[in-house]
Amino acid sequence: MNLNSYGLRKFKNRFFFVACAVCVVLAVAPLVSILWEVIVRGAPQLSLNFLTATNAKDGIGPAIQGTLILIGLTSLIGVPIGILSGVYLAEYGNNHFGSTMRIINDALTGVPSIVIGITAYGVIVIGLIGSYSAIAGAIALSFMIIPIIARTTEESLKLVPNNIREASLALGAHKWKTTLRIVLPSAKSAVITGVLLGVARVAGETAPLIMTILGNRYFFQGLNEPMAALPLEIWRDSLQAQQSIIAQGWGAALVLILLVLSINIIVRVVSRGRLRK
Amino acid sequence: MTNQKNPKFFTKKVASLGDFLFKNLAAVMAASALALLLIIGYELASGSGSVIRTFGADFFVGTQWVPNEGREIYGALPYLLGTIASSGLALLFGVPLSIGIAVFLVEMSPRALRVPISYLVELLAAVPSVIYGLWGLFVFRFILVDYIEKPLNTYFGWIPIFGGPTPIGLDLFTASVVLAIMIIPTVASVTKEVVAAVPNSIREGAYSIGATKWEVIRHWVLSYGRSGIFGAVILGLGRAVGETMAVAMLIGNAQGAAAIPTSLFAPSQTMASLIANGFLEAAPGSLQISAYIGVGLILLIMSLSINLGARVMVTKVLKVKGGAVE
C-alpha cells in the first residue's frame, strides 16, 4: 500500500483532529471530577455549626478564620512591596539593575513553596519569634505573592499607552505624580486582577504552612502563636482513619475551593468584560 | 490645575526630591526580590551546614535515612531519584496532552469554544495542590488501581517496572499521573502562545504546496515553534519538581533505600514530599532537621536552574517573533 496515498493522508488528518479533541477532554475530565466530588462529598457537611465551631465541636471555624487572617496579613505585607517593585520594573526598569531584578523575580516564582516554608521556619520560627506563629506563615506566603504581583503589575503598567504619560508630564506633573495619579489608576483593574489572582494562588498553599503556623484547634490566639488554616485542616483530616473526620476534610475542601475558584472566576469575567469594551 | 495655587510645588528642588524619593523607594522594593532570594539561599545553606559537615559527600550519594539517635545516617539520593522519576513521568504523560490541547485551541477549535476551553484548562491551575491530593487519595487512586495498575501488575508483572506486590495506588504511578494533570495548564498555555506566534505565512506556504491541515501542524507549525515548546516543557518540569502536597499525599511516603524508584507501582518519595511528610517529626536544631534542610537545598538548586533555563528559552523565542505574540 502506498503510505502517502491521499486517502491515508486524509485519514491521518481526521485522526489527529480527534486525538487533539480527546486531549482536551482528558484534561477537563479531572477538573469536572474534582469539582463534582468536592461538592457531593463536601456539601452535606455544610452547616452554620460546621463553619463557625471549633474542631472539638465538629467545626472548621478556626481554619476558616486562620485562612482569612493569612490572606489579610499576606496582602498587607505583599501588595505594597509587590506593586512598588512592579512600578519600578515598568517605569524605571529599563536598565541593567531593572533587567537583573526581573530575572531574579522570575527565579523567585520558581522556588518551591516548601523551600520558602523552610526559610520562614529558619528566619522567623527559630530566629525572630522563637515559636510556630501566624506571622511566620504570613511572611512565607508574602515571599510567594511578591514576585507574582510584581510581575503582573509590571505587565499591566506596560500596557498603558505612553502618550498618557507624556500628556501628564507636559502639563507639568512630575514623574512620581504621573506614575501614582495617572499611570497606576489607568491600569487599576489589571493590577487588581493580578493581586486577586495572587491571593487566590497563595490561599490554597499548604506546604509552607506546615512548618510555620503548624495548625491549632482554637481560634486566633495572637500573631506569635500557632494558627489553623483550611489547607492544613484538609491535609490533616485526610490522614485520619475516622470517616467523620475525613468527611470534615471534604467540607473544608469545598469551602477552600469555593473561595479560590470564585476569586478566579469573578476576576476573569470582570476583566474579560473590560477588554471587550 | 489645582497645583497652580501652590507655585512652590513647582520649584525644581521639591520636584527632584519627590522623584528621587519615589524612584528610590520603588528601587528598594524591586531589590527586595534579590534580598528574598539571598535570604532563602543563606537560610538553606546555613541550616544544612551541620548535616553536610557530618556526612560530606555521603549526604548526596547515600541511600540510608535513619533518624534514630546514636546511629543517625542521612542520604538524599533516593529522593533525588524519586523527584527525577516522578517529574519525568509527569512530563511523559502531561506533555503530549498539553501540546494536543494547544494545537486544538489554536488550529482546530471552533471560535466559540476557544475561550471556554482555555478558561477550563486554566482553572486546573487554580485548584489548590492539597485538593488534588485529597481527590487523588479518595477518588482517583481507586480508578487507577482498578483499571490500570492491577491489570498491568497481573499480566505484565514480570517486567520490573510493573512488578512488585499487588498495588494499592499509593505509589510513583499515581503521584506522577496527578502531577501530569497539574502541569497541563502551565505547559498548554505557553505552548498555545508559541503556536499562535508562528506566522501565518508559514502555514499558507505549506498549504500552497498541498499539505493537509495535520501535515501543516506537524511538519511546519510544531517544528517552527519547537524551541519555544521545549521551553514550555521545561517550565512544566520546574513546576513538577517543586510540587509538594499532592505528591506527599499520594506517593506512599517510603524512606531510605525503599524510596529508590524501581517499580511504577511501589511507594517512593520525592525531595519535596520527604520534607512535607517528615519535617515536624524532627526536633528543632537536630541533625535530622538539618538533613531535611539539606534536601531542601538540593531541591532549591535543581528548581532554580530548571526555571531560569526555561525562561531564557521561552523569552528568547517569543522575543524573536516580536509583535506576532497575541
pLDDT per position as a tens digit, B14-55: 557 888 999 999 999 999 999 999 999 999 999 999 999 999
- What is the distance between the alpha carbons of residues B197 and B125, in angstroms, rounded to a whole number? 23
How much is the average pLDDT of B295-308? 93
User: Is B296's CB within 8 Å of A115's CB?
Assistant: yes
* pLDDT > 70: percent of chain B: 91
Chain B residues lying within 8 Å of A150, measured CB to CB: 30, 33
Q: Is the pLDDT of residue A2 over 60?
A: no
* Helix orientation angle between B77-103 and B287-320, rounded to the nearest 10 degrees: 30
User: Which residue is listed with cell 503556623?
Assistant: A213
Q: Is the pLDDT of residue B251 over 90?
A: yes
A156-186 tens-digit pLDDT: 999 999 999 999 999 989 899 999 999 999 9
* Confidence bin at A123 (pLDDT 50/70/90): very high
Q: Are residues B120 and B250 in the same domain?
A: yes
How much is the average pLDDT of A107-132? 93
B264-287 tens-digit pLDDT: 999 999 999 999 999 999 998 899
Asked if the structure places residue B59 within a domain, the reply is no
Q: Is the pLDDT of residue B91 over 50?
A: yes
Asked if the structure places residue B68 within a domain, the reply is no
Q: What is the reported pLDDT for B318?
A: 60
Which residues make Cβ contacts (< 8 Å) with residue B194, sequence separation at least 6?
B102, B225, B228, B229, B231, B232, B314, B317, B318
Question: For residue B67, what is its C-alpha cell?
Answer: 533518624
Q: Is the pLDDT of residue B81 over 90?
A: yes
Q: Is the pLDDT of residue A29 over 90?
A: yes
Asked if the structure places residue B244 within a domain, the reply is yes
Q: Are residues B42 and B85 in the same domain?
A: no
pLDDT averaged over every residue in chain B? 89
Asked if the structure places residue B214 within a domain, the reply is yes
Q: Are residues B303 and B165 in the same domain?
A: yes
Q: Tell me the whole-structure pTM to 2 decimals.
A: 0.91
Please name which of A230, A229, A45 lies closest in space to residue A132, comparing C-alpha atoms: A229
User: Which residue is listed with cell 510513583?
Assistant: B172
B104-137 tens-digit pLDDT: 999 999 989 998 999 899 899 999 999 999 999 9
Q: Are residues B119 and B160 in the same domain?
A: yes
Q: Nearest CB to A111: which of B97, B99, B300?
A: B300
B46 part of contact set with chain A, CB < 8 Å: yes
How much is the average pLDDT of B79-100? 96
Question: For residue B73, what is its C-alpha cell?
Answer: 545516617
B301 part of contact set with chain A, CB < 8 Å: no
Tell me the nearest-neighbour CA distance from A108 into chain B, angstroms: 7
Tell me the nearest-neighbour CA distance from B110 into chain A, angstroms: 11
* Confidence bin at B69 (pLDDT 50/70/90): confident
B156-192 tens-digit pLDDT: 989 989 988 899 999 999 999 999 999 999 999 999 9
Q: How far is CA B148 from the centre of its chain?
A: 25
Q: What is the reported pLDDT for A273?
A: 58
- The CATH number given to whatever domain includes residue B307 is 1.10.3720.10
Q: Residue B243: how many CA atoms within 13 Å on its side-chain side?
A: 35
Q: Are A74 and A247 in contact (CB under 8 A)?
A: no
How much is the average pLDDT of B69-93? 94
Q: Nearest CB to B18: which of A15, A26, A176?
A: A176
Q: Is the pLDDT of residue B324 over 50?
A: no
Q: Are residues B217 and B262 in the same domain?
A: yes
* Confidence bin at B317 (pLDDT 50/70/90): low
Strand partners, B73: B66
Which CATH architecture fits A61-231? Answer: Orthogonal Bundle (1.10)
Chain B residues lying within 8 Å of A9, measured CB to CB: 212, 215
Q: Are residues B29 and B158 in the same domain?
A: no
* Confidence bin at A268 (pLDDT 50/70/90): confident
A138-149 tens-digit pLDDT: 999 999 999 999
By DSSP bridging, strand B65-66 and strand B73-74 are antiparallel
| Predicted complex ipTM | 0.92
Q: Are residues B236 and B302 in the same domain?
A: yes
Q: What is the reported pLDDT for B79?
A: 96
Q: Are A175 and A162 in contact (CB under 8 A)?
A: no
Q: Is the pLDDT of residue B234 over 50?
A: yes
* pLDDT > 90: percent of chain A: 78
Q: What is the reported pLDDT for A277?
A: 38
Q: What is the reported pLDDT for A3?
A: 60
- What is the distance between the alpha carbons of residues A239 and A166, in angstroms, rounded to a whole number? 59
Asked if the structure places residue B58 within a domain, the reply is no
- What is the distance between the alpha carbons of residues B269 and B277, in angstroms, rounded to a whole number? 10
User: Is A119's CB within 8 Å of B43's CB?
Assistant: yes
Question: For residue A135, what is its C-alpha cell?
Answer: 506571622
A34-43 tens-digit pLDDT: 999 999 999 9
* Confidence bin at B321 (pLDDT 50/70/90): very low
- B-chain residue closest to A103, CA distance: B308
Q: What is the reported pLDDT for B326?
A: 33
Q: Is the pLDDT of residue A231 over 60?
A: yes
Tell me the nearest-neighbour CA distance from B296 into chain A, angstroms: 6
Chain A residues lying within 8 Å of B127, measured CB to CB: 31, 34, 204, 257, 260-261
pLDDT averaged over every residue in chain A? 91
Residue B7 is part of which domain span? 2-47
Asked if the structure places residue B72 within a domain, the reply is no
- A-chain residue closest to B2, CA distance: A173
How much is the average pLDDT of A114-118? 96
Number of domains in chain B: 2
Asked if the structure places residue B56 within a domain, the reply is no
- Phi first, then psi, for residue B166 (nearest 5°) are -55, 125
Please name which of B215, B187, B188 lies closest in space to residue B202, comparing C-alpha atoms: B215
